[in-house]
Amino acid sequence: MGRKRIVNILLKEWQFLFTDINTTLLVTILPLLIIGQLILCIWLAVNFAGESALNITIFQNALANLQRATPEVALLSGGERFQVLLLSQFSFYMLLIPVMISVSVATFSIVDEKLSGSLEALLATPVKTWELLLGKALAGAIPSLIVTWICSGIFLLAVRAMGWGYLLDMVMTPVWFISLFLFTPAVTILSFLLGVIGSSRAKDAKGAQNLVLLVVLPVLALIALQISGIIWFTAFSALIMAFGIGVVDYFVLRVAVQLFQRESIVVRWR
């Protein structure tokens, strides 16, 4: 029954989400803006900073990490090495897409139901709290994950169109695949679960958004740490991270269920 109810929630949420023009625009425009910004940054960095950027200490550290992981990078020119360094960050940069979407979508998920009065009727059905919260989180996480993967494809096409395609062999390493197909889903579910927690605890969507913004900061920190060479993900460490966040997802769902106080939601929200 759990799966049937979760699917029921998913189908309704998707229908509801995509009848909302603002959400549809957000889910389509925001990822394209993020990709465009990334391409522009790389283009600017390559054309205006070029090889000289490698004199900056933090990039030297990151490049050293990159060359250890992918030795053939050493055979490239300085400008090309800098390009590979930037391109190899994009799978982490893509994490911003689901996280940003969750800030907007998940944070409304419970608040909207409270305000419309539908939540009390919903709580009078046999739906279990974990089914409701997981359904709400997946309803946002699945489309934003699909959008993220589509955007990754668009990004790769754009990279080829820019004439940088010959560098992609050095970018699309196992770390890239693990990041995109394991790490990103785990972080996406985490950010949506936090969004749903925020939505069930906050008095309005704004309060919930403030909570979810806390997820954006670690993602930005992750990108900064990687590009500055302080940390460097190997296939193994990326796998461990993805698994670790998957475990965190499970516990966050349990915490979400504990924090979902039916009484205060029904009684205080009028």
Partner 1 sequence: MTIIEAHNISKRFGDITAVEDLNLEVDEGEVLGFLGPNGAGKTTTIRILAGIIAPTSGYAVIAGHRTDGEIDSLHEVIGLLTDTPGFYEKLSARRNLEYFGGFYSNVDVEAHVEKYLKLMGLWERRESRVGTFSKGMKQRLALARALLHEPKVLFLDEPTAGLDPEAAQEVRELVKRLSNEGRTVFLSTHNLTEAEQLCHRIAVIRTKLLALDTGLNLRHRFFRREVIIRLVDPSITIVDAVRKLTFVEDVKEEDGQLIIGLIEPDKNRPELVKAIVGASGKILEVSEREHPLEDIYLKLIREEK
Interaction of residue 116 with partner 1, rule CB under 8 A: yes
By beta-carbon proximity to partner 1, the closer residue of 126 and 163 is: 126
Taking the complex as a whole, the smallest distance from the CB of residue 3 to partner 1 amounts, in Å, to 12
Residue in 56, 123, 216, 231 binding partner 1, rule: CB under 8 A: 123
127 lines the binding site for partner 1 (CB under 8 A): yes
Q: Is 118 in the site for partner 1 (CB under 8 A)?
A: yes
**Sequence-ordered list of residues with C-beta below 8 angstroms from that of 115, at least 6 positions apart, any chain:** 269
The residue within the footprint of partner 1, chosen from 3, 48, 124, 163 (CB under 8 A), is: 124
Among 36, 117, 165, 174, binds partner 1 (CB under 8 A): 117
- Among the listed residues 1, 3, 22, 48, the single contact to partner 1 using CB under 8 A: 1
Site for partner 1 contains 8 (CB under 8 A) = yes
Q: Which is nearer to partner 1, 11 or 217 (CB)?
A: 11
Q: Which stretch binds partner 1 (CB under 8 A): 8-16, 177-185, 215-223, 248-256?
A: 8-16
Q: 199 phi and psi, to 5 degrees?
A: -65, -35
Question: Taking the complex as a whole, how short is the minimal distance between the CB of residue 104 and partner 1, in angstroms?
Answer: 17
Residues in the site for partner 1, rule: CB under 8 A?
A: 1, 4-5, 8, 12, 15-16, 19-20, 113, 116-128, 262-263, 266-267
